Structure 1
Amino acid sequence: MNKFNSMIAIALIAATFTACKKDTEEPVVVVPPSDGSTLTLNGLIGAETGSAAGNSVFVDFSTDKQTAVARAAWDLGFYCGADFRVILNNTTSAGAKVITTANASLATVGEADTLGLTLAVSQANPLPAHFAFFDAIDGNLSNTVIPAVSATAAENKVIILNRGTGGGIAAKSWIKLKVTRNASGGYSLQYGKIKETTNFTTVDIPKDGNFNFKFVSLNNGAVVNVEPEKANWDLVWTYSVYQTTFGSDLVPYNFSDLVFINKLAGVSAAAVSTSTKSYAAFAEADLPAITFSSARNVIGSNWRLTQPVTTNGVTTPIGVKADTFFLIKDASGNIYKLKFNSFISNDGGTRGKPVIEYKLVKKG
């Protein structure tokens, strides 16, 4: 066989091998979204009371999956989007203050800078001014206590942090910290206890575009997973700082059983009154009349009552609100109808383990 014929033979063998390889490749399987389910959310870690459930529970409707994460497992969240933002742990009622004193540093800020500070929710005497301690309850990243992290390291301020005791969380040492950008495009966190003057811990936090945030526990300086990947959850049920009316003022207040949607990943929602359409009867044909909202707290506490309410002589008892259900549009365009079946003994449920039911209305 001459050289030319040898080359042809080799080419034919390679082509045959390639063809065979293509024939044996596994097909890409596209898993359809769930048609719906009923879930009992696992809010309880142990023997804690249901009104102080220790877990936040993330839910993904399209996969019928819930992910329970201890509220106390993290202290700070570092945004993975284009901006450089750091969030406090609202689920422990963590509060913070920016030190604006000229030339303040981790070495110079100390116990004297905490005098008169609570950085906490007052359940007995909440004041509108206390909102300044906490990140915006609507999840607006332009309204965090810690300012946007500047590319100029010297412009970033020292922060005093009370890590929070909301909902039965054990008290932890107050922390002073400073966040800067690192050379890898992520964050660098330096922190220590309030009285510390020299021994500070440094943690680098990389951005990961698969997540809304990467989280840090200041107990051990570890980067921890809290939220599932941003495409893999639609809402979270949790305890958190929220708001209420006290006298005539809107004030921060600790709430149990709050529900927030994953607005940063494009999830939106809407409330539907059963006087308009029942949960069972609501169908795709009813969607054109619906206006979806991307507000993080569009559901909030609007799905349940912890005190009876009397309107026009009619009393609505403690429990889930039977006159309201919700629609959830996920990032893929799937639309689910959602109702809460129980959450407390008054409605046949267990506090800390709410039961939800959802059904696919329209596939994205």
Structure 2
Amino acid sequence: MNKINSMMAVALLAFTFTACKKDDKEPEIIVPVSDGSTMTLNGIAASEAGSSAANSVYIDLSADKQSTALRSSWTLGFYTGSDFKVVLNAHNGASAAVVNKTDLNAVTSADLVQANLVVGLGTAAEAEFLKVDDPRQNNATVKTVINTISATDSENKVYLINPAGGSHTAVFSPDNVFKVRIIRKGTGYTLQYAKLSATTFTSLDITKDTKFNYSFVSLADNKVVSVEPEKANWDIVWTWSLYYGGTAPSQYLYGFSDLVFTNTLGGATSAEVLVATKSYADFSASDLTNITFSSKSNLIGENWRVTTGTGIKMDRFYLIKDAAGNVYKLKFVSMGVGSDGGTRGKPVIEYKLVKKA
């Protein structure tokens, strides 16, 4: 074989090998977008007997998927966006109060003022909204008890936290109270924390994983914990939470279940449609031209139900636009109130794809 023929043979062999490698490549699996379904949400947790809302339930409409997290499984949420915000667990009734000190070890039981941490549910007083992340805002990061974490360490004060507030009780045990101080560490956070009576503290570094809205920490378990799915993988959450009732200026703080929040931090938006305008069955993609989607996380909130009579408000349904741009119409079928035939803590939703992204 001459030199030219040898070179051609080598080239052919290399081409054949490369072609075989390409043919052997695993095909990309594309999960189809759901056309819609009916789903029973599991708000009941076996470990929390007697509670019909022990879980927060996160729903991904395009994947026909729900995931649950115990509401009591976390204490603080560290925002992973460009800002340095820390939220309290409103889903477990947490409350907090600032102490004008920066040395955690210098904070003792003498710094605890019970009234600053007791959440006066049903009390029409603006002061109650200063103890919790204000639920009247568009999302939880807007008006938080814990100030935005400063790049200047000396500006970051100590906070006292009652992880499970939301109580009418005027007296609680100081043994349940944590003291915390949070500073920045590079692009993330350092959390310093201890029980109120402790004379030493623990430090925990928290990084920002931008696939999620928050990094969550359980003070009781001394660790970062998994709560929400990745922000691209859920659209709405059903839960119990500190919330509010009444109309301004006589609004009051309260806590109850069957609240639904939209994942606006993750890019989802929502809208309410009254059936007097268009029925759920008849609503189609052509009707979207008349819809304005909202970035308010509490647009659905409690607006879909009452706790007496029929329970579910049958005069409305909702539109959810996920972060990818898929639009679903969604209605509530049962919630275990009145004669709807449902189970409290296991509400049923029905949804249908209106427009694919």
Same fold (TM over 0.5): yes
TM-superposed deviation, 1:131:
0.3
Counting aligned pairs with the same residue, the percent is 52
TM-superposed deviation, 1:281:
1.0
Partner of 2:115: 117
Shift in alpha-carbon separation, 1:9–1:90, aligned structure 2, 3 A: same
TM-superposed deviation, 1:153:
2.1
TM-superposed deviation, 1:140:
4.5
Answer yes or no: is the 8 Å Cα contact 1:121–1:254 preserved in 2. Answer: no
Answer yes or no: is the 8 Å Cα contact 1:120–1:164 preserved in 2. Answer: no
What SS does the aligned partner of 1:223 have?
Answer: strand
Cα-to-partner distance string for 1:29-85 (whole Å, 9 max, x where unaligned): 3222100010110001133242xx100000000000000110000001111111111
Partner of 1:186: 188
Cα distance in structure 2, aligned partners of 1:164 and 1:295? 26
Partner of 1:106: 104
- Name whichever of 323-332 and 129-138 sits farther off: 129-138
TM-superposed deviation, 1:3:
7.8
Partner of 2:326: 334
Cα distance in structure 1, aligned partners of 2:151 and 2:4? 62
TM-superposed deviation, 1:118:
4.3
Of 338, 343, 348, the residue aligned with 1:355 is: 348
- Name whichever of 116-125 and 350-359 sits farther off: 116-125
Cα distance in structure 1, aligned partners of 2:267 and 2:108? 41
Cα distance in structure 1, aligned partners of 2:85 and 2:330? 32
What SS does the aligned partner of 1:249 have?
Answer: coil
Q: Which amino acid aligns with 2:185?
A: N
Scaled by the length of structure 1, the TM-score of the pair is: 0.90
Answer yes or no: is the 8 Å Cα contact 1:93–1:120 preserved in 2. Answer: no
Shift in alpha-carbon separation, 1:247–1:180, aligned structure 2, 3 A: closer
Q: Which amino acid aligns with 1:362?
A: K
What SS does the aligned partner of 1:117 have?
Answer: helix
TM-superposed deviation, 1:157:
1.1
Partner of 1:218: 219
Partner of 1:134: 132
Cα distance in structure 2, aligned partners of 1:124 and 1:20? 70
Cα distance in structure 2, aligned partners of 1:258 and 1:345? 14
What SS does the aligned partner of 2:211 have?
Answer: coil
Q: Which amino acid aligns with 1:155?
A: E
Partner of 1:84: 84
Partner of 1:55: 55
Partner of 1:314: none
TM-superposed deviation, 1:248:
5.7
TM-superposed deviation, 1:5:
6.7
Cα distance in structure 1, aligned partners of 2:154 and 2:315? 54
What SS does the aligned partner of 2:97 have?
Answer: strand
What SS does the aligned partner of 1:327 have?
Answer: strand
Structure 1, unaligned runs of 5 or more: 308-316
Cα distance in structure 1, aligned partners of 2:159 and 2:312? 40
Cα distance in structure 1, aligned partners of 2:311 and 2:265? 30
TM-superposed deviation, 1:155:
2.0
Cα distance in structure 1, aligned partners of 2:291 and 2:75? 37
Cα-to-partner distance string for 1:105-136 (whole Å, 9 max, x where unaligned): 10111111112434232235352211011113
Answer yes or no: is the 8 Å Cα contact 1:178–1:191 preserved in 2. Answer: yes
Cα distance in structure 2, aligned partners of 1:5 and 1:156? 76
Q: 1:171-210, aligned counterparts within 5 Å? A: 173-183=176-186, 185-197=187-199, 199-210=200-211
Q: Which amino acid aligns with 1:353?
A: K
RMSD of aligned residue pairs (Cα, Å):
2.2
Aligned residue pairs, count: 348
Shift in alpha-carbon separation, 1:33–1:120, aligned structure 2, 3 A: farther
Q: 1:18-37, aligned counterparts within 5 Å? A: 18-37=18-37
